[in-house]
Amino acid sequence: MDVRPSGIHHVTAIASDPQANADFYLNALGMRMVKRTVNFDAPETYHFYYGDRAGNPGTIMTFFPWPDAPRGKIGAGQATTTTFSVPEGSLGWWAEHLAGLNVETTRPSERGEEDVLSLRDPDGLIIELAASADHHDTDPWDGGVVPTDHAIRGIRAVTLTEQDAEGTAQMLGGQLGFHLHSEDGDRMRFRTNDTGDGVGTIVDVLADPKAERGVVAAGTVHHVAYRAPDTPVQDAWRQRLERDGVGVTEIRDRTYFTSIYFREPGGVLLEIATDGPGFDYDEPLLELGRSLKLPPWLEPNHQQIAASLPRVEVNQ
């Protein structure tokens, strides 16, 4: 069975103020909130999912917003940058749009094949917008503030910063089936396929032996999830990782997908998530994200859980 990854499924990060988080990803980046639920392992905390119109795998950025959470430290052993794809020629529009919202942006002077715009979200998380002519089989959200011609297409890449990149490179190229696409100084670029098309097909490994270890809290990435088309392939992944001596969890039910978790040698928490059943599992496509949805085992306590969460206004 082919267990090579088919791209990024989602990236999950930590935030502090839930309202500030929602305002930024809806009104600054123009994404759709496709699910408003709770952290299944800590239901006193929200879990927000943002993505394209349907929340297709590869477009999803998720957050655990803990009010008053301390600021984390971005560093080694983390996914330090999340890069979104926007249409070719869109960066000028984005720079003007973000400047109008007082969001500071920079354009790295050298970045190989890419033209990117770098910014930070309200908690300091590093975000990039990369102009790309790649084909993306996603459905950009047209109900927000960003015109469809400029809208985010999905997650293009993540960057892993490592003190010792050798073990990470070996896992990506060996057990996880990525292709080493290019090397540019201290940056190795891996792809999940030969063509580079599609969302979430890139992972950059940045070797920085002097980098201090990161601290996971507000403004840092918690984990990166890659896609498995279905549960049999996910189970094959799990068996292979276990056979190779990688500590991997049992398959966990996340309602909208199932997941397994493990760490790569540098310390980044990785997940393999199934494509289905998807975010319209428990509410119609047109209603995604408008109300709090809970998994069946928490639903009996819906009223109590909802009352314990901060009030958040979502206009979309």
pLDDT tens for residues 43-77? 999 999 999 999 999 999 999 999 999 999 999 99
Predicted pLDDT at 209? 97
Dump pLDDT digits (tens) for 225-236: 999 999 999 999
Q: What is the pLDDT of residue 112?
A: 66
Q: For residue 133, what pLDDT is reported?
A: 84
Residue-level pLDDT at 109: 62
From first CA to last CA, the distance across the chain in angstroms is 41
pLDDT score, position 238? 96
The partner residues of 261 in beta bridges, in order of sequence, read 271
Distance separating alpha carbons of residues 280 and 63, to the nearest angstrom = 19
Q: Return the pLDDT at 195.
A: 63
The closest alpha carbon to 111, from 159, 39, 44, belongs to: 159
Low-confidence ranges of the chain (pLDDT < 50): none
Predicted local distance difference test score (pLDDT) of residue 315: 82
Instruction: State how far the Cα of 171 lies from the Cα of 33, in Å rounded to an integer.
Output: 33
With residues binned 3-state (H G I as helix, E B as strand, rest as coil), the percentages for the chain, rounded to 5, are 20, 35, 45
Sign of the dihedral through C-alpha 304, 296, 66, 50: negative
**CB-hemisphere CA count at 13 Å for 10?**
28
CB atoms within 10 A of CB 135: 12
pTM of the model: 0.97
Instruction: Say what the pLDDT of residue 132 is.
Output: 85
Q: Please report the pLDDT score of residue 110 as a whole number.
A: 63
Residues 273-316 have pLDDT tens digits of 999 999 999 999 999 999 999 999 999 999 999 999 999 999 88
